[in-house]
């Protein structure tokens, strides 16, 4: 399926494939490949010392990977947690290291087994290569840009295709880059020079989480499963650099890892003794979301960035004013445009538009941390009728523009005393705990049935607990206009959304509840 799915009559997809090939040509245009002298050792602040062979160093030295040095892993969290300056580059190296740990754990477990099913095929290099490249499709500030372009029609069309239905937008973009002509030519050179063979089909499937062969599902689990290398790295890395170290017993997890049949697929499974490690992974995720990813200062920055992109799109600046290209569309009108920018280059737009006072204000406010402030907290604890929370949450995944309409209503009610881009209604998505339903526990003995992690604890209860005790949304506005927007927000929510706030909704923002 992966090999021929790009043959499509869909105009949106055809255009996207063409744009991806153009980007791939652009980023490799000045790259002259030279084979490294040998393997290199890289020291990491999270995992310590790891070795990468000459093939992997060739990929690491490529402009596609080097671009990730300038894309923050956790977007604007460094404005709240000053040490969280880690990047997608660091993360990609860490994920590769963790693939090695997972593979070694299985190899050690099976080394004395004479059972044919316990013999690992030699896909180690393919899985490490997928780990290195899995985030090459990220745009500036990682998931913050992804929250914008995931609603673009070409991305929605892409994610309707079978290989990508369970993939995130950046994973789908990463896979398209890997399949592009220029990258394949580069990869062929590296494979020949370093005498390596890579299963390209498996590499792409591991990145997007698509399984064409049920007997190879466990290979995909290395990078796209319930306790994959990607999750292990970002949980440890984000927690470490945010100053929130998390307790996950990886030694026990390595010891407990296995391969078994589950729902007619060969899967990575965990022995009974390792279930506590899986529980720790779920708990770590629940800890990081409210404390880091959904911290109100972090979300305020996300709203400000989205406002900047929204304003730039409204200016209809030709894309080829910034990147020499035949692309006649306006800047950020297409999802591919985000790939041409990293975190630094987004702010360089200001240098090209120095006469635009409004753009200057929007970018400088964010760059120098003059952040928007909360004027209300939206949560199960802050509204009068808990059932009415769904009146605002129902728009999160499919109707993002509805939040823009609500923000415009609030701005109108306030007398338009601020810029459109300075008002944000932010309702972040819940963390996905459904992986527990797909996390399989090894049978105690032959003949026993497989079962998933929900046998040990109720994931539904965890998800409900998060929604009703941890989740918070906000309305953001300029710091000097909080009073007027507090009143306007209260009125709009009561009249148009039928949501009435308790006094604590405003007190949590350190402001007096409006009359």
On whether residue 108 sits in a domain, the answer given is yes
**∠ at Cα 159 (204, 330), nearest 5°?**
105
* Segment among 91-105, 441-455, 470-484 with least mean pLDDT: 441-455
Residue whose token pair is 């995944």: 397
pLDDT tens-digit readout, 427-438: 999 888 777 778
Q: 41 with 49: CB under 8 angstroms?
A: yes
Q: Token pair for residue 133? A: 């490249």
For residue 107, give its domain range. 11-239
3-state secondary structure (DSSP) of residue 356: coil
pLDDT the model gives residue 351: 74
Q: Please determine, for residue 182, whether its predicted confidence score (pLDDT) is greater than 70.
A: yes
Q: How confident is the model at residue 29 (pLDDT cuts 50, 70, 90)?
A: very high
pLDDT the model gives residue 7: 56
Contacts of 245 (CB under 8 A, 6+ apart): 239
Distance from C-alpha of 387 to C-alpha of 454, rounded to nearest angstrom? 27
pLDDT tens-digit readout, 236-261: 999 999 999 898 999 999 999 999 88
pLDDT the model gives residue 497: 94
Q: Where are the beta strands (DSSP E) in 308-455?
A: 373-378, 424-426, 440-441, 451-452
Which whole number is the average pLDDT over 212-230? Answer: 93
State the angle between helix axes of 169-179 and 181-194 in degrees (0 to 180), rounded to the nearest 10. 70
Which whole number is the average pLDDT over 124-133? Answer: 97
Which whole number is the average pLDDT over 456-474? Answer: 82
pLDDT tens-digit readout, 88-104: 999 999 999 999 999 99
Q: 88 with 68: CB under 8 angstroms?
A: yes
Share of the chain residues as helix, strand and coil, in percent rounded to the nearest 5: 55, 10, 35
The full DSSP string for 238-250 is HHHHTT------H
pLDDT the model gives residue 308: 95
Where residue 36 sits, what CATH number does that domain have?
Answer: 1.10.3210.10
pLDDT tens-digit readout, 343-367: 999 888 877 787 899 999 999 999 9
On whether residue 117 sits in a domain, the answer given is yes
Q: Token pair for residue 484? A: 């007027």
CA 293, chain centre distance (Å) = 11
DSSP code, position 428: P
Q: Token pair for residue 513? A: 């509840």
Percent of the chain, pLDDT > 90? Answer: 74
pLDDT tens-digit readout, 45-84: 999 999 999 999 999 999 999 999 999 999 999 999 999 9
What's the chain's length in residues?
Answer: 515
Q: Please determine, for residue 309, whether its predicted confidence score (pLDDT) is greater than 60.
A: yes
DSSP code, position 50: E
Q: 289 with 470: CB under 8 angstroms?
A: yes
Q: 379 with 388: CB under 8 angstroms?
A: no
Radius of gyration of the chain (CA): 24
Bridge-based pairing of strands 373-378 and 451-452 is unpaired
Number of domains in the chain: 1
Which whole number is the average pLDDT over 415-439? Answer: 89
Q: How confident is the model at residue 1 (pLDDT cuts 50, 70, 90)?
A: very low
pLDDT tens-digit readout, 488-498: 999 999 999 99
Q: Provide long-range contacts, Cβ within 8 A and 24+ apart, for 217-220.
A: 217/265, 217/266, 217/267, 218/259, 218/265, 218/266, 218/267, 218/268, 219/123, 219/127
Region at 332 (left for phi over 0; alpha for psi -120 to 50; beta for the rest): left
pLDDT the model gives residue 234: 97
Residue whose token pair is 């062929």: 188
Q: Please determine, for residue 447, whether its predicted confidence score (pLDDT) is greater than 60.
A: no
On whether residue 125 sits in a domain, the answer given is yes
On whether residue 205 sits in a domain, the answer given is yes
189 or 122, which is more confident? 189
On whether residue 263 sits in a domain, the answer given is no
Among candidate residues 497, 488, 498, the one with its CA nearest the CA of residue 506 = 488
On whether residue 146 sits in a domain, the answer given is yes
Average pLDDT, the chain: 91
Q: 242 with 248: CB under 8 angstroms?
A: no
pLDDT the model gives residue 445: 62
Which whole number is the average pLDDT over 185-192? Answer: 98
pLDDT the model gives residue 168: 96
Which whole number is the average pLDDT over 13-36? Answer: 96
On whether residue 51 sits in a domain, the answer given is yes
Distance from C-alpha of 207 to C-alpha of 38, rounded to nearest angstrom? 27
pLDDT the model gives residue 119: 60
Among candidate residues 463, 404, 412, 393, the one with its CA nearest the CA of residue 433 = 463
């Amino acid at each position: 399926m992966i090999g021929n799915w790009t043959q499509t009559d869909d105009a949106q997809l055809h255009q996207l494939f063409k744009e991806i090939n153009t980007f791939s040509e652009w980023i490799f245009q000045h790259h002259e490949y030279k084979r490294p002298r040998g393997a290199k050792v890289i020291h990491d602040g999270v995992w310590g010392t790891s070795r990468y062979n000459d093939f992997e160093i060739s990929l690491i030295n490529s402009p596609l990977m080097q671009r990730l040095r300038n894309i923050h892993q956790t977007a604007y969290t460094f404005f709240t947690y000053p040490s969280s300056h880690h990047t997608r580059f660091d993360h990609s190296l860490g994920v590769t290291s963790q693939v090695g740990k997972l593979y070694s754990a299985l190899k050690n477990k099976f080394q004395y087994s004479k059972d044919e099913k316990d013999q690992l095929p030699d896909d180690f290099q393919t899985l490490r290569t997928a780990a290195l490249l899995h985030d090459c499709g990220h745009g500036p500030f990682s998931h913050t840009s992804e929250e914008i372009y995931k609603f673009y029609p070409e991305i929605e069309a892409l994610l309707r295709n079978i290989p990508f239905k369970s993939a995130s937008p950046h994973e789908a973009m990463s896979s398209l880059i890997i399949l592009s002509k220029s990258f394949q030519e580069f990869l062929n050179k590296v494979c020949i020079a370093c005498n390596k063979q890579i299963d390209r089909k498996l590499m792409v499937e591991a990145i997007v989480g698509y399984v064409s062969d049920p007997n190879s599902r466990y290979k995909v689990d290395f990078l796209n499963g319930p306790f994959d290398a990607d999750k292990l790295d970002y949980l440890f890395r984000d927690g470490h650099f945010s100053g929130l170290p998390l307790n996950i017993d990886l030694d026990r997890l390595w010891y407990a890892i296995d391969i078994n049949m589950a729902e007619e697929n060969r899967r990575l499974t965990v022995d009974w003794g390792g279930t506590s490690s899986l529980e720790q992974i779920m708990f770590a995720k629940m800890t990081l979301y409210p404390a880091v990813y959904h911290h109100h200062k972090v979300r305020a920055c996300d709203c400000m960035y989205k406002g900047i992109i929204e304003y730039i799109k409204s200016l209809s600046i030709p894309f080829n004013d910034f990147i020499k290209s035949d692309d006649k569309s306006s800047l950020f009108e297409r999802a591919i445009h985000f790939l041409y920018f990293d975190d630094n280059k987004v702010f360089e737009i200001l240098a090209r538009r120095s006469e635009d006072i409004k753009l200057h204000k929007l970018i400088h406010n964010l760059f120098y941390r003059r952040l928007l402030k909360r004027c209300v907290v939206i949560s199960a604890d802050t509204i009068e009728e808990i059932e009415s929370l769904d009146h605002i949450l129902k728009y999160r995944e499919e109707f993002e523009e509805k939040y823009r309409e609500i923000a415009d209503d609030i701005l109108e009610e306030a007398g338009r005393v601020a810029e459109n881009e300075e008002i944000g209604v932010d309702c972040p998505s819940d963390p996905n705990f459904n992986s527990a339903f797909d996390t399989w526990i090894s049978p105690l003995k032959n003949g026993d049935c497989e079962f998933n992690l929900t046998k040990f604890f109720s994931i539904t209860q965890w998800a409900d607990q998060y929604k009703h005790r941890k989740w918070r949304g906000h309305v953001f506005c300029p710091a000097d206009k909080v009073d007027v927007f507090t009143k306007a927000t209260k009125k709009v929510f009561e009249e148009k959304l039928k949501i009435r706030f308790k006094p604590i909704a405003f007190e949590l923002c350190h402001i007096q509840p409006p009359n």
